[in-house]
Amino acid sequence: MLRIINRQTNPYFNIALEEYLLKNLPEECFMLWHSEPSVIIGKHQNALAEINLPFVRSRSIKVVRRISGGGTVFHGPGNLNFTFIRKGEPGKMIDFRKHTEPVIGFLNDLGIPARFEGKNDIRVNGLKVSGNAEHVFKNRVLHHGTLLVDAELGTLKEAISVQPNRYIDKSIQSVRSSVANISDFTAVKTSFDQLMVMLDNYLESFFGKVEDYVLKESDKEQVHKLVKEKYALWEWNYGYSPDYEFHGETELDIGRVKLALQVKKGRIESAAFSGVQLPGHWQDLARDMQGGYHQYDEIVKLAGKHLILQGNDMDLANCLIPLFF
């Protein structure tokens, strides 16, 4: 068993590193790591339907799609991530209970009554402290999870707070759960760094013989290549979303304006405004939106070209985002 030494906090790099290790490192391994504030969505989710876009943009929070399924999680300060890559037999590799066993054992040793509950959660007194997901590649399985140590739960909640029924699709929907930090359940307060070392020591004992693996320059080059060609791209993080319908509306000086979109592979196939009697330039905007991406910068550029907004309508975050996203 290899222990991957990774000090990076860039979420693009860290999520790309997991894929690289799964597909290129023959040995079994584990890795403890943390990232800058970021929203990590499941492979089959609709990114825009899972995030609070105004909040995410205002805080410069990155949105990254991972290769495993499941729901959306938030990474950031106080959130410890763990990755296990194991070999297995066909048909037996997806096993959340097995792969969460060492983390639950560690928490129990700290006196925290953690349990495996639901499909893939670790909970304490019914509150979620860890979400997990898995992905199979050939005869190997990637299991990764979050562990809320002393995370900023307010930021977490706000970043993934969404309005229902705006996006209609067949994507995997996140199930919002009540969450808690494990620091709320420890008798002795332990810092994030201390707890990370303690979990690392526990995993070394759990897995037996463990050897450190420091990323080589060739490893880093391949991971950065994967970031450049996949994980930092809008086409992967947003455009990969399943086809969807979008229905938005907002109140402007001219009255309530509604928008209906049909989006396929990130591109707008049809756009139609409705509501009040709209001037012709709104229909010009709808025409120009068709064929383009349902992407913030592109939409704002087109809106700026066609719309002349006055007064409170100049506030894009308050007026246009609810209409277009």
Please report which confidence band the pLDDT of residue 172 belongs to, taking 50, 70 and 90 as the band edges: low
Instruction: Answer whether residue 273 shows pLDDT above 80.
Output: yes
Kindly state the average pLDDT of the residues 5-12: 97
Of the listed ranges 26-35, 244-253, 260-269, the least confidently predicted one is 244-253
Kindly state the average pLDDT of the residues 61-66: 98
Cα angle 205, 97, 115; round to 5: 85
Identity (one letter) of the amino acid at 239? Answer: G
- Calculate helix-pair angle for 296-306, 316-324, nearest 10 degrees: 110
Summary mean pLDDT of the chain: 92
Instruction: Answer whether residue 125 shows pLDDT above 80.
Output: yes
Q: Is the dihedral of CA 120, 122, 126, 127 positive or negative?
A: negative
* Helix ranges restricted to H, the chain: 11-24, 47-50, 53-58, 96-109, 153-159, 192-207, 217-226, 234-237, 280-289, 296-306, 316-324
Please report which confidence band the pLDDT of residue 305 belongs to, taking 50, 70 and 90 as the band edges: confident
Which domains are seen in the chain, by residue range?
2-237 (3.30.930.10), 244-324 (3.30.390.50)
Instruction: Answer whether residue 315 shows pLDDT above 90.
Output: no
Q: What is the pLDDT of residue 316?
A: 56
CA distance 272 to 203: 55
Helix, strand, coil percentages (3-state) for the chain, rounded to 5, are: 35, 30, 35
Q: What is the pLDDT of residue 311?
A: 46
Of the listed ranges 62-76, 173-187, 206-220, the least confidently predicted one is 173-187
Instruction: Answer whether residue 67 shows pLDDT above 70.
Output: yes
Specify whether the CB–CB gap between 223 and 20 falls below 8 A: yes
Q: What is the pTM of this model?
A: 0.93
pLDDT per residue over 183-193, tens digit each?
A: 999 888 889 99
Q: What is the pLDDT of residue 317?
A: 53
Cα angle 3, 187, 194; round to 5: 30
Q: What is the pLDDT of residue 52?
A: 95
